[in-house]
Structure 1
Amino acid sequence: MSTTRPYPPGDRGHEPSGASGVSASSEEDAPAGAAMASATGAAASSAPPSRTDSGAVETPRGRQVRRLGLEGASGVVPLARDFTRQALYDWGWLPAAGADQRAAAEDVLLVVSELVTNACLHAEGPDELALACDNKVIRLEVTDRGTGQPAPRTPHRAGRPGGHGMFIVQRLCLDWGVVRAQGRPGKTVWAELGAPA
């Protein structure tokens, strides 16, 4: 697994606000795709996953997965946001009961927008958006065929137009990284955010 973190795993670098990087459980620490594969039943598990009425995959541990094919679609950023917003409604994040829940849902929508936009700008567009949620973490994955390695611009200049996407992702997420597909072009950029309390 190759990641784009400019810091050791579990450490998000200097956090002036006092925030700290939180490691997720072992299932979420698995490479991108592995967590999705286990959630959809491709990996061995003690019980098979089941489908809900909304078409989501629910695993025995309560982890749900949603996938949206974006290859060749137009208007992919609003499409991805709408798809994610509907998943957040289905998972109970929206409508938000308080300011913290509303902020958490808005952060998820912003990170989805940034990841999909980066795929559009640097990788000929995204192929797929995958969302996985349990009661602690939501994992977002955007798969594309690009060869570039996303990274926050260094140094970050707040007044400079453009180039803030991965900086925003780095600041809002518990962790993020990149997994390259073996034997074929492309990559999956993943990000994990904490569920609202």
Structure 2
Amino acid sequence: MTTPSIRLLLVDDSAETRTLVRVAARVRGGFEVVGEAESGAEAVALAVTLQPDVVMLDLRLPDADGADVLTRMRAAAPGVKIVVFSGAATRHRARVEPHAEALLGKDSGIDRLLDVLAWVAGAPAERRELDFPGDLASVVDARRFVREALMSLRAEDVLDAAYLVVSELAANAVMHARSDYRVVVSRHGELIRVAVSDRGSGSPEPRTYDVTSESGRGLHLVSALAHSWGVDSSPDDKTVWAELARS
């Protein structure tokens, strides 16, 4: 049986960006771009008329504030899911996040955008989360939580990799951010995401690998285990996430 395509509306005042996403969606498959808009008024009208499964929305539009367009679209077409994809995403996070299913900076890349659009348009992701104190002893509890979460999500096949990922990310939150932290485990189709949020600043980067060093290997290990990984930062906190492909 053929899987129905995800009906996608592209909203961006850059024709180049719309073309890149449209072509990438066609190459990837599973998407049908049902409309394109370059202004806020046109975006809201098309969302109502076309009722797409999901909208890709830039916040920088020539005729209106993008956050206002988002709330207007939400009111006019409440069944439509919206993914904000904008270079202004971080700056407007507080206004935008409550009204959008997902929020991505344009530096996330189009492949990542398509992943998120697919997840948002599909069945809601199953999710488990828990807060932990900024104490190295809590890493054991975080591992136990991940085990229980994966069992409840029917994804025990990634348990070994998830153990290593959460151990590294939780230890980094305690040792480097010197912060309490939250662990979120969610399932998006055949991908399992393990994310650790803390109140540290900056974006961690893998250090130059040195086999003689006792530290600095964590993000290399996460990168090797993960289907993809990244860092989402704001002025107040950061989230390091890794996605694990089920076998």
Change (3 A) 1:126 1:177: farther
TM-score by length of 1: 0.60
Aligned to 1:169: 222
- Which of 124, 131, 141 is the matching residue for 1:79? 141
Q: Structure 1 residues 164-173 or 68-77, which shifts more?
A: 68-77
| SS of structure 1 residue aligned to 2:127 | strand
- Aligned mates of 2:144, 2:178 — CA distance in 1: 21
Change (3 A) 1:164 1:86: same
- Aligned mates of 1:179, 1:61 — CA distance in 2: 23
Change (3 A) 1:126 1:30: farther
Letter in 2 for 1:64: E
- Aligned mates of 1:167, 1:74 — CA distance in 2: 20
| SS of structure 1 residue aligned to 2:184 | strand
Question: Any residues of structure 2 matched to 1:140-159 within 5 Å, and which?
Answer: 140-154=194-208, 156-159=209-212
1:193 and 2:244 equivalent?
Answer: yes
Gaps of at least 5 residues in structure 2 are: 1-30, 32-55, 57-80, 86-97, 102-120
| SS of structure 1 residue aligned to 2:139 | helix
Question: Any residues of structure 2 matched to 1:129-148 within 5 Å, and which?
Answer: 129-148=183-202
Change (3 A) 1:111 1:44: same
Give the Å deviation of 1:91: 2.1
Which ranges of 4 or more aligned residues in structure 1 deviate by more than 6 Å?
none
Native 8 Å contact 1:135 1:195 kept in 2: no
1:88 and 2:150 equivalent?
Answer: yes
Change (3 A) 1:122 1:160: same
| SS of structure 2 residue aligned to 1:152 | coil
Change (3 A) 1:153 1:60: closer
Change (3 A) 1:153 1:44: closer
- Aligned mates of 1:178, 1:135 — CA distance in 2: 21
Change (3 A) 1:44 1:121: closer
Gaps of at least 5 residues in structure 1 are: 1-24, 32-41, 46-58, 95-100
- Aligned mates of 1:112, 1:136 — CA distance in 2: 19
Aligned length: 139
Aligned to 1:8: none
Sequence identity (%): 34
TM-score by length of 2: 0.49
Aligned to 2:172: 118
- Aligned mates of 1:160, 1:60 — CA distance in 2: 43
Aligned to 1:128: 182
- Aligned mates of 1:172, 1:115 — CA distance in 2: 13
Give the Å deviation of 1:144: 0.8
Native 8 Å contact 1:147 1:187 kept in 2: yes
Give the Å deviation of 1:123: 0.3
Change (3 A) 1:162 1:72: closer
Relative contact order higher in (CA < 8 Å, ≥ 6 apart): 1
Native 8 Å contact 2:202 2:233 kept in 1: no
Give the Å deviation of 1:92: 2.3
**Based on CA coordinates, which of the two structures has the bigger radius of gyration?**
2
- Aligned mates of 1:88, 1:116 — CA distance in 2: 17
